Structure 1
Amino acid sequence: MNLFKSAGTLAIAAACLAPLPAAAAPRCEIDRPVVFAALDWDSAAFHTALARFVTETGYGCKTSTIPGSSIPLLNGMAHGDVDVTMEQWIGVLGEAWRKAEATGNVRIVGVAFDDATQGWYVPRYLVEGPDAPAPGLKSVADLPRYKDLFRDPEEPSKGRFYNGIAGWGAEIVNTRKLQAYGLDADYTNFRPGTGAALSSAIASAFKRKKPILFYYWGPTWVLGRYDSVMLEEPAYDEKIWEVLNSDKPVGKATAFPTMKVYTTANTRFIAQAPKLVAFLDKFRTSNAEASRALVRMRELGGTDAAETVAKQWLRDNPATWSAWMPADVAARVKAAL
């Protein structure tokens, strides 16, 4: 027996059986964490969790967030403190977005979804059915007749309108709508302290089958779970909408448009991270998809619900999100799941 030949054969065999070196880990385009805006509503939390997971596992970047409301975080992005906002409701922000964009420091990089809705809602049990207390309530023009139904416990001579929280672009629009419709004489402009406080007030009213008049938007778990009716407003008029979203005196109001919600970024980040920007440009969900995810988030509860549901959505929809990125990036994301 030739020991030298046998030893050589064994060495070759061992080399062939040895595991191949792991593919090099992806190298992030920037040498610091990518900072996402942590906006204070659920659909934004879901979309941000999706983008962060892909950014970390597929592109090898660290990420962080800055929490806040839409206008402060828009200002933060204009100043370079925030890199990416996954849900920029530009149609609501109006003048605030135009001012930020005029600085040259922020830019649209994609469309997160293109079928967002907003409006003023009441529970269906208030306006439909044999025992409905307000069958004649169809539009905002009917609200003065029903102010007692929505009585504000702190100001009983008026009804209560649940607006968005201070700092939301929609809160400013709603405040101007109340004035334009002449409803500020009959309704208090109640602003809950947080987005969670607003949804809790709505959930509590539905649980007890009580009256409530509230602003809300979709996609959300609230409109997915609670059967609500949007009150009619004058048909959307672009010129009136522009005035509502400006600093000009308001005389008329109009319905919210069905709108696109954008992904936006700081222009310095855009220049530094073209591969990530290409991913953000292709990122796209829908009102219906997001609403289903938000119901699951609500059922799970907890501080990590958005991350948990985002990972499950990625597992369930590989054909959708794989198209947002190169094949090698998609492979790394799949492996991380």
Structure 2
Amino acid sequence: MTRQASPYAAVKGTKSVTLSVQSWVGAQANVAVVRYLLEHELGYRVDTVQVDEVPAWDALSQGRVDAMLEDWGHPEQEQRYVKDKKTIVPGGDLGVTGHIGWFVPKYFADAHPDVTDWRNLDKYAEEFRTAESGGKGQLMDGSPSYVTNDKALVKNLKLDYQVVFAGSEAAQITQMKQFAKEKKPFLTYWYTPQWLSRQIPMTEVKLPAYEEGCDADPEKVACAYPHTPLKKFLNQRFADEGGEAAALLKRFRWTTEQQNEVALLIADQKLSPQEAAERWVEKNEATWRKWLPAKG
């Protein structure tokens, strides 16, 4: 964990909630809006802990955080903590479907339509080459902590590419914006939903079709990423004893467009998460009012 767990987590009798927040801005948008409603509508003290994807499961199981609002699919952790240990329970769908893939900017795909088939990628390796890619084409990834099969895919599909990590979502976005400003070609690991796709239209490169189980062995992956309905998970004790807060988190469900709206305010317009949430809440009462637990 990158920050100390909240001293308020799991303190009996305290009207408080501790939320896990991942480093990408869509996850920050979820937490910002839920936090605003918990504090201003239900009177809770809310603390957040920034933690990477896999360690978040450990923190949730141990009660160091009460809820995780956006999981992109971790079947091993789900088996261990939900099915075997029963320390974590599903909190329902977020309402957003996530998809990871390889993308090129639309301006490059329009000029070179065949680039959208992975079998033609080597043809463009030289155009995608950078100082960091060691003479090969660059496949740009974000944070090394994100779910990615890219190194295995490059190896197993025998592509003349090198995976280069930008280091974080923010660093990746900065590079993508610079490439787009100069209308340069680039190939990148990317995902939807993501607010930047409004500003830099992207076209997906078709990898070999995803089939159930084709990604079971991380070393042998040679297929596309699945489309994943994003899910919420709650600490088991919190789910049972968390009162109105737990009820709100279970009922929280919004659309890709709504998440992107808040993410855009945070990442592009540089509002604080609290300011972005307040602006969205003011305009969308018909949506969030349904998430509040019914008064006894």
TM-score range, shorter chain: 0.7 to 0.9
The aligned counterpart of 1:174 is 150
Going from structure 1 to structure 2, the CA distance change for 1:318 and 1:32 (only over 3 Å counts) comes to closer
Going from structure 1 to structure 2, the CA distance change for 1:100 and 1:203 (only over 3 Å counts) comes to farther
The aligned counterpart of 2:70 is 87
Of the structure 1 ranges 253-262 and 310-319, higher mean CA displacement relative to structure 2 is found in: 253-262
The aligned counterpart of 1:69 is 52
Residue in structure 1 matching 2:80, options 92, 95, 99: 99
Matched, 1:325 2:266: no
The CA deviation string for residues 50-79 of structure 1, in whole angstroms up to 9 with x for no partner, is 111111222221111111321122222122
Residue in structure 1 matching 2:115, options 130, 137, 148: 137
Where do residues 208-223 of structure 1 align in structure 2 (5 Å cutoff)?
A: 208-223=182-197
The aligned counterpart of 2:38 is 55
TM-score (norm 2): 0.88
The aligned counterpart of 1:253 is 222
What is the one-letter code of the residue matched to 1:159?
G
2: CA distance between counterparts of 1:314 and 1:253? 43
2: CA distance between counterparts of 1:202 and 1:299? 14
Matched, 1:225 2:194: no
Residue in structure 1 matching 2:258, options 266, 276, 289: 289
The offset of 1:234, in angstroms, is 2.1
Where do residues 2-21 of structure 1 align in structure 2 (5 Å cutoff)?
A: none
Residue in structure 1 matching 2:135, options 149, 154, 157: 157
Residue in structure 2 matching 1:267, options 236, 239, 250: 236
The aligned counterpart of 2:4 is none
Residue in structure 2 matching 1:308, options 275, 280, 288: 275
What is the one-letter code of the residue matched to 1:238?
E
The CA deviation string for residues 10-67 of structure 1, in whole angstroms up to 9 with x for no partner, is xxxxxxxxxxxxxxxxxx9841631111210111111101111111222221111111
Q: Which runs of 5+ in 1 are unaligned?
A: 1-27, 330-337
SS at match of 2:214: helix
The offset of 1:214, in angstroms, is 0.7
What is the one-letter code of the residue matched to 2:76?
E
1: CA distance between counterparts of 2:165 and 2:89? 30
2: CA distance between counterparts of 1:189 and 1:255? 16
2: CA distance between counterparts of 1:152 and 1:105? 46
Say if 1:217 and 1:223, in contact at 8 Å, map to a contact too.
no
What is the one-letter code of the residue matched to 1:275?
E
The offset of 1:103, in angstroms, is 2.9
SS at match of 2:223: coil
1: CA distance between counterparts of 2:109 and 2:91? 42
Going from structure 1 to structure 2, the CA distance change for 1:99 and 1:159 (only over 3 Å counts) comes to farther
**Who wins on radius of gyration, i.e. which is larger?**
1
Matched, 1:195 2:157: no
Of the structure 1 ranges 41-50 and 115-124, higher mean CA displacement relative to structure 2 is found in: 115-124
Instruction: Give the CA RMSD over aligned residues.
Output: 2.2
1: CA distance between counterparts of 2:197 and 2:178? 14
Going from structure 1 to structure 2, the CA distance change for 1:178 and 1:104 (only over 3 Å counts) comes to farther
Say if 2:154 and 2:162, in contact at 8 Å, map to a contact too.
no
Say if 1:36 and 1:64, in contact at 8 Å, map to a contact too.
yes
2: CA distance between counterparts of 1:190 and 1:125? 22
Going from structure 1 to structure 2, the CA distance change for 1:219 and 1:284 (only over 3 Å counts) comes to same
Going from structure 1 to structure 2, the CA distance change for 1:67 and 1:326 (only over 3 Å counts) comes to closer
> What is the total number of aligned residue pairs between the two structures?
285
Higher helix share: 1
1: CA distance between counterparts of 2:294 and 2:75? 38
Going from structure 1 to structure 2, the CA distance change for 1:113 and 1:177 (only over 3 Å counts) comes to farther
Of the structure 1 ranges 257-266 and 38-47, higher mean CA displacement relative to structure 2 is found in: 257-266
